[in-house]
Structure 1
Amino acid sequence: MTITHRSPDLSALAEQYATDGFVLVKGLLSKEEAAFYRERSHTLLAQLNRHDDPTWKSAMGLSGGATRLQHLHDAQFYDAAFSRLMVDPRFTDVAAAVMGVEGVQLHHTKLFVKPPENGSPFPLHQDHPFFPHQYHRVGAAIFHFDDAPEEKGCVRVIPGSHLQGPREHDPEGSYHLPDVPFESATPQPAEAGDVLFFTYLTVHGSGVNVSEEARTTWLIQYRDPADPPTVKTHDHSLGQGMMLRGTDPTHRSGV
């Protein structure tokens, strides 16, 4: 497995992140690494034989019919390869730079596979209402383990939407934003090995996978350890509070 050693311009990434609320880092993982993690992802899901489907009820409005989605919380507790990826400096250095902090703390992780032909979409939303924090120094990184063109239901974002702060979401529709047209979001097609970073205030979603291949991604949600949550949520997430980079000045850990 070949490991890349690219050193992106962290200052430029941080500047774009501050302006747009997101940045797509190309080739953060090598193609070989991405293929390895894709294989591990699908093997894990097959071994665990999970049948729960996290598709949002509001996804029906985007798909026009029934869709499917496979997922797994806390993949790092099933396979050490994911644990290594969480603390890889290629990831943690970018996460720290775009947040403008030294320490990066784990909030939770989710593995997603959109099956071929009818992989579930995600309506436009912010992540903020699911786990609000006082200073909003919370972000996400989506690792692409295979190519994600538009036909696979790639992530879409609304550039600069984070600057408007928290928005009112529809609690009856899985906290989506009913007044924001899905077509207003800009597609972010990605290749295997690319990683999309965005703040939890950035409005984002994804389309239906109508292709003949699965779309495989791993989401790491992280935060500044000095940013306290205002509501205690996601307590079920294993390892919440783990330091991925630096130290926790608050000694709060998973609280």
Structure 2
Amino acid sequence: MLTQAQIDRYNEVGALVVPDILSPAEVQHLRDVTDGFVERARGLTGHTDIYDLEDSHTPDAPRVRRIKAAHLHDPAYAALTRHPKIIAVLQALWGPDIRFDTAKLNLKCAGFGAPVEWHQDWAFYPHTNDDLAAVGVMFDDMAMENGPLMVIPGSHRGPVYDHHAGGVFCGAMDPANHDVDYRKAVPLLGKAGSITVHHVRAVHGSAPNLSDRDRRLLLFQFRAADAWPLLGFPAGIEAFDKLIVAGQPREPRLADVPVRLPLPPAHRQGSLYENQKGMKNRFFGQPAQSAAAEAVAAQ
């Protein structure tokens, strides 16, 4: 599925866009399923085990920003965890043995889609090695104006940055620390049916969607079968091994990679959006954005 040039780019940048993974018919079916979920959020007054709602949501005007663990709630989402083209991309990067983790569908709807502050996924769930990545399935075309995923090139080869505020995990980097040069951010743009792949240690984020077009991205977390979570797997080894989607289980492989633990846990437990409400300083989504944020958002 990947050329050597694509593999080299992933290793250099920490992220990749692969076009034409899903057919137009597959994309349309996923959009229809997603529209149904949004409609069923009508009447809700707060977050649930399925829905994470925009701050501007009302029971009469449903606004969903995330469908949690989407693969557990509809077979159309679940089928993508074993989609042969997606699995082939991951095998080109890691080899034959692939384990799934979880999924979430981020809905940046036209005109109000919430931003995601800069962070590294590795800060949330460190493993014995860092052969992990998030695969994003594009339900809509991604362009700069509708808040695409952006990555800091090469950041996956650097340190794990502090994702705490006041000594408590908040799931985001403090832009006041100037850990990376956010002006170097690279947007992951593409047509609906494409996928993004970003390394677990890559610094990434996304601006709010202020356009008139939706930007819905279904994110799957995958890992090589020999990458085991440092915080354990409470459901037990049998459940852990049921997450194998290609090849076979492997013993843990320990690599020399930097680690920080997401402890003490966030004051606002729940989705990443709730965690990030514990931030002291924000890069996106505040009335007076910094000059750097404006420059990134305008790329």
Compute the TM-score of the two structures, normalised by the length of structure 1. Answer: 0.80
Counterparts of 2:6 and 2:234, CA distance in 1 = 29
Partner of 2:204: 204
1:230 aligns with 2:223: no
1:55 CA drift (Å): 8.1
CA distance in 1, matches of 2:169, 2:210: 23
Q: Does 1:144 align with 2:138?
A: yes
Q: Does residue 45 in structure 1 map to residue 38 in structure 2? A: yes
4+ aligned runs moved over 4 Å, structure 1: 48-51, 53-57
1:82 to 74, 77, 82: 77
Q: Find the aligned partners of 1:209 and 1:240 in 2 and give their Cα distance.
A: 36
Match 1:29 to one of 22, 28, 31? 22
Deviation digits for residues 167-206 of structure 1, max 9, x if unmatched? 2223457322222454431222221011000111011111
- Contact kept, 8 Å, 1:45 with 1:72, in 2: the verdict is no
- Contact kept in structure 2, 1:131 and 1:231, CA below 8 Å: yes
The 8 Å contact of residues 131 and 234 in structure 1, kept in 2 or not, is answered as: no
Aligned position for 1:61:
none
Report the counterpart of residue 7 of structure 2 in structure 1. 14
Matched residue SS, 2:211: coil
Show the counterpart of 1:105.
99
Paired amino acid for 2:112: N
Percent of aligned positions that are identical: 25
CA distance in 2, matches of 1:93, 1:79: 23
Q: Which runs of 5 or more structure 2 residues have no equivalent in the other structure? A: 56-62, 253-299
Counterpart in 2 of 1:64?
none
Q: Quick one: structure 1 residues 207 and 134, their matched pair in 2 at CA, closer, same or farther if it must change by over 3 Å? A: same
Aligned to 1:201, the other structure's residue is in SS state coil
Equivalent in the alignment of 1:248: 249
- Residue type of the alignment partner of 1:95: L
Q: What letter corresponds to residue 244 of structure 1 in structure 2?
A: V
What's the offset of the Cα at 1:240?
5.8
Query: Secondary structure, in 3 states, of the residue corresponding to 1:90?
Result: helix
Q: Provide the C-alpha distance between the structure 2 equivalents of 1:165 and 1:102, rounded to a whole number of angstroms.
A: 28
User: Is 2:41–2:64's contact at 8 Å kept on the other side of the alignment?
Assistant: no
Larger deviation, residues 192-201 vs 73-82: 73-82
Q: In structure 2, do the counterparts of structure 1 residues 125 and 54 end up closer, same or farther at CA, with 3 Å as the change threshold?
A: farther
Shift of the alpha carbon at 1:139?
0.8
CA–CA distance in structure 2, aligned partners of residues 234 and 217 of structure 1 = 28
Match of 2:173 among 174, 177, 197: 177
Tell me the distance in 2 between the aligned counterparts of 1:56 and 1:135. 34
Q: How does 1:119-130 map to 2 (within 5 A)?
A: 119-130=113-124
**Cα separation, partners in 2 of 1:15 and 1:181, compared to 1, 3 Å:** closer
Name 1:189's counterpart in structure 2. 189
**Structure 1 SS opposite 2:106:** strand
For 2:181 and 2:115, the matched residues in 1 are separated by: 14
Following TM superposition, by how much is the alpha carbon of 1:116 offset from its aligned partner in structure 2, in angstroms? Answer: 1.7
SS of 2:112 mapped into structure 1 = coil
Q: Check 1:165–1:94 CA distance in 2 against 1; reply closer, same or farther (3 A cut).
A: farther
Q: Which amino acid aligns with 1:214?
A: D
Report the AA paired with residue 71 of structure 1: R
Q: Which has the higher contact order (CA 8 A, sep 6+)?
A: 1
Stretches of structure 1 lacking an aligned partner (at least 5 in a row) = 1-7, 58-67
Tell me how far 1:22 sits from its aligned partner. 1.0
- The separation in 2 between residues aligned to 1:234 and 1:37, in whole angstroms, is 31
Conserved? CA contact 2:53–2:66, under 8 Å? no
Which one has the largest radius of gyration?
2
Confirm or deny: 8 A CA contact 1:35 1:146 kept in the other structure.
no
Q: Once the 2 structures are TM-superposed, how far is the Cα of residue 56 of structure 1 from its aligned partner? A: 10
Q: Which is further off, 180-189 or 69-78?
A: 180-189
**What SS does the corresponding residue of 2:103 show, helix, strand or coil?**
strand
8 A Cα contact 1:96 1:102, kept in partner: yes
**Counterparts in 2 of 1:234 and 1:130: CA distance versus 1, 3 Å:** farther
Q: Secondary structure at the match of 2:118?
A: strand
Match of 2:150 in 1: 156
TM-aligned CA distance change 1:17 to 1:112, over 3 Å: same
Match of 1:132 in 2: 126
